[in-house]
Amino acid sequence: MDQVDLIWQNGDFVRWEDAQVHVLSHGLHYGTGVFEGIRCYETERGPAIFRHRDHLARLERSASLYYLELPYSAEELRAATHELLRRNGLKSCYIRPLAFRGYGEMGLYAKSAPIEMIIAVWPWGAYLGDEGKRKGIRAKVSSWRRIGPGGLIPHAKASGQYLNSILAKTESANAGYEEAILLDERGFVCEGSGENIFVIRDGEVVTPPHVASILDGISRKSVIQIARDLGYTVVERDIARAELYLAEEVFLIGTAAELVPVREIDDHPLGEGKPGEITTHIQAKFEDALYGRAEEYLEWLDFVEAPAEVDAPSKVTP
């Protein structure tokens, strides 16, 4: 990881190496945490966080679904993130807020274990690589099925749930692929291990509906709007596994990975084995939105104001 100076922890700005937790923290044992993955981009008008309020609203929803009461409001977390970016002198980075049940009580009904929060920021390149974004990646349908609503909450971004994604990702990486695609219990397509999926069929942009066993991605929502604005027909429906192989184009999209074309699935080349026209068209507009180059999507950006001229006294804890 590219280390920076400070991490925000429970209201204080602490040095990166001092941001510690107790080994008996509840979240470490049972996965009782919720988090977000957000990105800040360097734009002409300064650093801007993409759909920051939407991410914080999802954090609040994830927390509430798992009965975790966040000790800070979304507005407090937003202000802390702005300050953290300023203090670390970052213009673009990945942002990871995390809330978890901390140290104080063990067992599964540990109501008295406090909820702790951190926000970490660090420079992080495209999750599936810049080359993947340009040339497309190879993906494999996982033998692991995506968690379903009968046992967990696909719509929550909760720490423990990621064991499912990790199994799928590990299997695909060990087999030499860049990403896994998970199906649901019925065998319909859900998403990548950390991205939503879009399939182009007969010129239409198709994606599983938001009620599928997927994380209702914020990039997914953005791309649905962008694709419609560009004049494409977007359809939310179940996607059969075979459609992955028959598709003209497929792409994955998420905050960490951004928009990544898929050029091969289970050794079936897609289209001409390189990113297709519709994918490239949508990708270009999406990147314009991220970097503040698209006037019509400027409202998605949360601009981080430059630091005040006079240095505030440092609140770093020793």
Ligand X SMILES: Cc1ncc(COP(=O)(O)O)c(C=O)c1O
How distant, in Å, are the alpha carbons of 85, 129, 312 from that of 91? 7, 20, 20
Which region, judged by CB under 6 A, interacts with ligand X, from 109-117, 173-181, 203-211, 217-225? 217-225
Binding mask 27-46 for ligand X (x = CB under 6 A): ----------x---------
Instruction: Answer for the pair 195, 179: CB distance below 8 angstroms, yes or no.
Output: yes
Q: Tell which positions 146-165 bind ligand X, by CB under 6 A.
A: 165
Q: At closest approach, how far in Å is the CB of 155 from ligand X? A: 10
Does residue 208 touch ligand X according to CB under 6 A?
no
Q: At closest approach, how far in Å is the CB of 285 from ligand X? A: 16
Which residue of the chain is nearest ligand X when measured via CB?
Answer: 217
For the question of residue 169 being annotated catalytic, the response is no
Contact with ligand X (CB under 6 A) among 217, 261, 275, 292:
217
Contact with ligand X (CB under 6 A) among 194, 275, 276, 292:
194
Nearest to 279 by CA among 216, 211, 214, 223: 223
The CA distance from 166 to 232, in Å, is 33
Q: Between 154 and 292, whose beta carbon lies closer to ligand X?
A: 154
Question: Catalytic residue positions?
Answer: 157
Chain residues that interact with ligand X, rule: CB under 6 A: 37, 165, 191, 194-196, 215, 217-220, 254-255
